[in-house]
Amino acid sequence: MTITDIQIAKDTYWVGKIDDREVPFHRLILTKGTTYNSYLLKTGKPTVIDTVDMEFGREYAERVAELIDPLDIAYIVINHTEPDHSGGLAALAMKATNATMVCTEIAVPELQEMYKLHGRNFLAVKDGDTLDIGGKTLLFKETPYLHTAETMITYCVEDQILYPCDIFSTHVAVDKLFSDEAGFDITEDFKGYYSAIIHPHRRYVRTLMEAVKDLEIAMIAPSHGFLIRRDVRKYIDLYAELSRETTQGKKAAIVYTTLKNNTKKMAGILQSTLQENGIEAEVWDADKHELSVILDSIAAADAVFIGSSTRYADMIGNLEPLLKELQHMDLEGKLAAAFGSYGWSGEAIEVIQDYLNGTNMTVQSTSDVIKTTGMTHVEFPIRVRFSPKEAEKTQKIKNAAEFVSDLLLSAI
């Protein structure tokens, strides 16, 4: 398959890279390799949509130049800044010096820093914005956290082609570009990609479903693997099915001690957020309820939140006896998280984290969240300085509760 042979629609060309090695990716080994899909729309204002992995940047820029003079490129659309999609931008931008980079507002500083593009033109687009590229119209929809905050999808109105970057992808070094020519059913590869990359962000699939519900989609042209032009609705519906909440009856126990009611307020925000997400949540003040009653609630719970205010670098009230009892209980399979408010350095929260790590519960940590999902807006332990009333602090607590809710309600 040569570069000049791959035309996916009128004036639209695949200019990607097939990587048939065993590829290290997100601490996985892609045994079937992968495909980095990039697209060139040779319209009145020629446009590139996404690039390839940075390892192949020079080769990629040379390949694009076989089809068009890079100086004629008007726009380079970057749906997602991760280097397996934006990595070819540096090499291409060096040649396409007249091009304007198109991305979400959040992505602008990321691309500027990653590829030293501070002096270049950027067009930051918002949800619902359109761009006339001379004979074709691009519609942009923001899809944050699928799978990072700056992600968007691009839709070509005239061609009815959706360019969703990581979404609807497969990790396969393709022999044939289109799924209907693959010679096998790609469904398991499609589901496998969803499970590994998208499912940790399944809450945000709702945003995707809303974004595409009114679009007439004749083809899905993702940034990895097969392009889909047959049974398109089947694959969209699969995302809706795989991301649905099918687990019912999950419970959480929230236990706290508080100095000036700030940690109590945190417990209330955790409870309301969990309940909004279908999790039954009981809240216990360890200084006002019997230890045995609280332990029974924890034993019956699927998730456990333990919190304290900090005073003189330590926990307050009757929390420590409870934490010591947890060391002797079989709590396997439960999720756990520490939380608390503080005025100085918040040592109590870290002491609770240490106690929880001494149980056989699955204790949430920022490190594990980043390593498993790439999310940076979810933090554990949940630490709030002084009152949680400010919107940013309240959102931090909600983010953590929503993350735990998603783990409990996962259909996979």
At 384-407, the pLDDT tens digits run 999 999 999 999 999 999 999 999
Alpha-carbon distance 346 to 123, whole Å? 42
Q: Which residues pair with 30 in a beta bridge?
A: 23
pLDDT recorded at residue 102: 98
What stretch of H or E contains 13? strand 12-14
pLDDT at 244 over 50: yes
Checking if the pLDDT of 248 tops 90, the result is: no
Look at residue 147 and tell me whether its pLDDT is greater than 60. yes
pLDDT on residue 33: 84
Output the pLDDT for position 412.
Answer: 56
User: Which is higher by pLDDT, 267 or 29?
Assistant: 267
The percent of residues in the chain predicted with pLDDT above 70, rounded, is 97
Q: What is the pLDDT of residue 2?
A: 45
pLDDT score, position 348: 98
Residue 1 clears pLDDT 60, i.e. is over it: no
What SS3 state is found at 107?
helix
**pLDDT for res 26:** 62
pLDDT confidence of residue 410: 77
The first and second tokens of residue 29, run together, are 């080994």
Angle between the N-to-C axes of helices 319-326 and 347-357, in degrees from 0 to 180, rounded to the nearest 10: 20
- Is 107:117 a contact under the CB 8 Å cutoff? no
Distance CA 276, CA 266 (A): 15
pLDDT at 159 over 90: yes
- As a whole number of angstroms, the distance between CA 380 and CA 93 comes to 39
- pLDDT score, position 360: 97
pTM of the model: 0.83
Mean pLDDT value across residues 244-271: 93
Q: What is the pLDDT of residue 5?
A: 56
What are the pLDDT digits (tens) for 261-286? 999 999 999 999 999 999 999 999 99
Q: What is the pLDDT of residue 337?
A: 98
Q: Across all residues in the chain, what is the average pLDDT?
A: 94
The pLDDT value recorded for residue 379 is: 97
Q: Which among 330, 341, 26 has a CA at the least distance from the CA of 171?
A: 26
Structure confidence at residue 373 (pLDDT): 85
Q: What is the mean pLDDT of residues 203-232?
A: 95
Binned at pLDDT 50, 70 and 90, residue 251 comes out as: very high
| H or E segment and range at residue 235 | helix 232-242
Q: How confident is the model at residue 3 (pLDDT cuts 50, 70, 90)?
A: very low
What DSSP letter does each residue of 122-157 carry, written as one string? EEEE-TT-EEE-SS-EEEEEE-TTSSSTT-EEEEET
Weakest-pLDDT range from 25-29, 105-109, 386-390: 25-29
Beta partners for 256? 285, 307
Q: Is residue 90 within 8 Å of 83, Cβ to Cβ?
A: no
Q: Which residue, 339, 312, 350, is CA-closest to 400?
A: 339
Using the predicted structure, report yes or no on whether residue 15 has a pLDDT greater than 60.
Answer: yes
Pairing type for strands 34-36 and 39-41 reads unpaired
* Average confidence (pLDDT) over 373-383: 93
Helix, coil or strand: residue 19: strand
User: Looking at residues 26-34, what average pLDDT do you find?
Assistant: 76
Q: pLDDT at residue 299 above 50? A: yes
Q: Using DSSP, state whether 225 is helix, strand or coil.
A: coil
Please name the helix (run of DSSP H) or strand (run of DSSP E) that holds residue 104, with its range, or none.
strand 100-104
pLDDT confidence of 200, banded at 50, 70, 90? confident
Predicted local distance difference test score (pLDDT) of residue 101 = 98
Q: Which residues on adjacent β-strands are paired with residue 13?
A: 7, 40
pLDDT band at 27 (very low <50, low <70, confident <90, very high): low
